[in-house]
Amino acid sequence: MEIFFGILNSIANVITNAWWLILPLFLFVIAWKLYLIYLRTQYVKATEWSMVELKVPENILKTPKSMEQIFAAMASIYSFGLTTINVYIEGQVEPWISFELVGHSGGVHFYVYFPSKFRNLLESAIYAQYPDAEIHPAQDYTELLGTGLPNKTYDLWGADMILSRESYYPIKTYPYFEEMVEERRVDPIASITEVMSGLKEGEMLWLQVLISPTGNMPILVNNWQQEGEEKIEELAGRPKAIKQKGSTVLEWGRNVVFAPAEPPIWGVKKEEAAPTLRFLHPGEQEIVKAIANKISKFGFETNIRWIYIDHRDSFSRNNVSAIMGAFHQLRMENLNFFKPNKKTITLKTGWLAKTFPRYKKLVEFSRKRKLFDGYVKRRFGRYNKILSEKFPILNTEELATIYHFPLGVVAAPKLKKLEAKKAGPPGELPIET
């Protein structure tokens, strides 16, 4: 105990005698952080956004593979590394796009909300895969309810969805649902569109998938591909290289001392035991193949957010269970699955909530307001890319599983599709001169 108090006394003496040095450094760190927050906030606010509605013909024959190619094209919005000037002078952040699926009593609609400068990229990517599709400018549907839900008329329920395990573990993707025989073919988006097609007057179900490309920059918070490679090495029984602590000068000194006995080692420690490869049973082989497949494709930081809205006097959680079931169908017990983010789900549990009902009600109301505000503003995460956060990483195959145009086997009656195809005039049409 005396040692403990002695340490505290020493710390107090250092602070007392050196406060004039510590305080300016502390204030500088705070000021620098506030400066970056201001710069990035202004940059995000200055971004010009557009919204379009996507419509495709009936009886679509293309699989989600076509949508996967569209997501692959969206990787082009990645900056490939923001420069120091971009980050600390201009306040730039990596851009993002929101792919949205909206259902109400009037039908089911596909929207995309994106920075206006990427319009040509988006349209060319869609037309390349769906030549008969139509892209129309659309009004923001979230404006129809005003601001500040829930209110006296409407209540809501929803959450952000996150992965249960590390991002390099994949979810069940569309190849698992594909069959050569059409009668046995299953579309993973069918369960969501069916729920949306059954909504009654006043009910709304909104789903948005915000994506922001990742890269291989070492400063990224989500270095998911490298983590996936390390996991494969671990499962295969290969020894993990442990980084050597210390500076290059210390490494140089160590190598000089031990040079007569062993070759120089830079950056890593030599493994004491010789590598021994493990025999992988079928389950482990499946995991290794799944991880290898996921990290082989381009990944996106992803924020999936959904909201169910209905009148207060008729609000029911039945459709909430249905939307959660749609996410559960993508569950792989030995790999990964979606779950609601406890910080955003509009339900407060725990002994405090049970003991103090008013506290529970206040927390749930606050979460609902934040969730709705985040959806309407298409906020990427809690801090909207202004501060660093760690997001789930989904690759193009996983994104195409969640968001794609339904196949012809999907019988959602209110799915908005084109009833006729557009065609150009015949080439031999006479032209008046």
Q: Check: CB of residue 126 under 8 Å from CB of residue 70.
A: yes
The Cα 129–Cα 143 span in angstroms is 31
Three-state secondary structure of 344-356:
CCCCCCCHHHHHC
CA 331 – CA 134 distance, rounded (Å)? 33
Q: How far apart are CA 173 and CA 176, in angstroms?
A: 6
- Cα(161)–Cα(348) distance, integer angstroms: 16
3-class DSSP assignment, residue 54: strand
**Looking at the DSSP assignment, which residues form a beta bridge with residue 50?**
114
Per residue of the chain (433 residues), give pLDDT as tens.
Answer: 666 666 767 766 766 766 666 777 778 888 888 888 899 999 999 999 999 999 987 767 778 899 999 999 999 998 877 778 888 888 889 999 999 999 988 889 999 999 999 999 999 999 999 998 899 999 999 988 877 889 888 999 999 999 999 999 999 999 888 764 454 467 888 888 888 888 888 899 999 999 999 864 444 445 888 889 989 888 887 766 555 444 565 665 666 555 555 666 665 554 445 555 667 778 888 999 999 999 999 999 999 999 999 998 888 878 888 888 889 999 998 999 999 999 999 888 888 888 888 898 999 999 999 999 999 999 999 899 888 888 999 999 999 999 998 875 454 555 555 555 555 555 555 655 5
CA 118 to chain centre: 19
Radius of gyration of the chain (CA): 27
Q: What is the pTM of this model?
A: 0.81
How far is CA 96 from each of CA 10, 76, 178, 219, rounded to the nearest angstrom?
49, 11, 30, 19
Strands (E), 69-203: 97-104, 107-115, 134-137, 154-163
- Per-residue tokens: 155: 């209540």
- Which residues, in sequence order, are CB contacts of 24 under 8 Å at separation 6+? none
